[in-house]
Amino acid sequence: MVHDAIYENIQQIFITCRDKDLEPAIKLIKRIKPNVKIKSIAPPGRSENNAIAKASHKRVEIKEVHLERSLFPGSIKNSLNKQIAERPTKYIPPITILKNQK
């Protein structure tokens, strides 16, 4: 992350980790490359690590609607309307999410 911030042409870093060990790296990036924006992203219903959140430029929470928009369809059909793939059973979302997709 630090290497990329320093040597690559990046504008943003998104952190979804709760590990406080990243705080020094975030502070270093902010000091050396202040133009690189760092976002702390928390999963639904969970908060991010306070040290990481304070060191980041912005705090964002993944909402259930974001997850709903990211779901694979139950099946995929080709141009002839023939099913060519099906979502694996272990990836079938809870019924509440399925209702919201309709």
Sequence ranges of the domains in the chain: 2-62, 65-101
pTM over 0.75: no
Q: Is the dihedral of CA 88, 91, 95, 99 positive or negative?
A: negative
Check if the beta carbon of residue 37 is closer than 8 Å to that of residue 58: yes
The separation between CA 41 and the C-alpha centre of its own chain, rounded to angstroms, equals 7
Percentage of the residues of the chain whose pLDDT score is greater than 90: 37
pLDDT, residue 100, reads 53
Smallest Cα–Cα separation from 41: which of 53, 27, 24?
53
Mean of pLDDT values over 88-96: 76
Mode of pairing for the β-strands spanning 75-77 and 83-86? antiparallel
- Give the right CATH number for 2-62 from 3.40.80.10, 3.90.1640.10, 3.40.50.1010, 3.40.50.12160: 3.40.50.1010
Residue with tokens 């809870």: 94
Burial class (CB in 10 A: 0-12, 13-18, 19+), 10: middle
**∠ at Cα 48 (45, 2), nearest 5°?**
145
